[in-house]
Amino acid sequence: MAAPSYLVSHLVSHPSSQGRGGGGTSSPEALAVCERPWKLEAAGGDSRVVVVCNNDVQRESLEGSSEMARALFPALDPAQERVCACTGRLRVPPFVDLVFTAKPDEGRVTVQASAEDDLDPELGPPFIACIGSVTASFAPMPFGACPEGKASFVYPVRLELEP
């Protein structure tokens, strides 16, 4: 089964003067993902976040200064650290899908690797198990577009680990 169209966003990394070393048997591209800070962006279009308010589901653009971005960004560094620790210990699949889920009113964002049908059957499962789940906290904030401020933001990304 192919990933839904909103899953085909990418975690894009940008050069940095300080690296975070990987190691082990990782590909040079997987190591490069670990040496640069992560920033959420879409490849070839604007980023779309699934916004869940009570029983209403919408897709909205992710903007750098938006409430959604402030709720999702705290998980970037911890997720990168976990992924890079795994690239240092395991052979990596060509890609891994990560799902960022933020609950702004609770001040919590979780990142979890997901198992898509197109994931490498040999390398994918141990890599996903290694990543597990990563949670980051931030100051709780209501989301103004949802009644009562209770919302969930779901932002799936595909992290390319090999050419």
Q: Where are the domains of the chain?
A: 5-160
pLDDT at 16 over 60: no
Torsion angle of the four alpha carbons 77, 79, 1, 5, in this order, in degrees rounded to the nearest 10: -20
* Long-range contacts at 108-112 (CB < 8 A, ≥ 24 apart): 108/135, 108/136, 108/137, 108/138, 109/71, 109/72, 109/74, 109/75, 109/135, 109/136, 109/137, 109/138, 110/75, 110/134, 110/135, 110/136, 111/75, 111/78, 111/79, 111/82, 111/135, 111/136
Q: What would the pLDDT profile of 83-130 be if each residue is shown by its tens digit?
A: 999 998 999 999 899 999 999 999 999 999 988 778 889 999 999 999
Q: In this predicted structure, what is the pLDDT of residue 146?
A: 83
Q: With a cut of 80, say whether residue 31 has pLDDT above it.
A: no
Q: pLDDT of 65-88, one tens digit each? A: 688 889 999 999 999 999 999 998
Averaged confidence pLDDT in the chain: 78
Between 38-42, 57-61, 91-95, 111-115, the lowest mean confidence (pLDDT) is in 38-42
Q: Which residues contact 112 (CB under 8 A, 6 or more apart)?
A: 98, 99, 101, 131, 132, 133, 134
Query: What pLDDT shows up at residue 35?
Result: 84
Q: Where are the alpha helices (DSSP H) in the chain?
A: 28-35, 67-72, 76-89, 124-131
Residue 107, SS3 per DSSP: coil
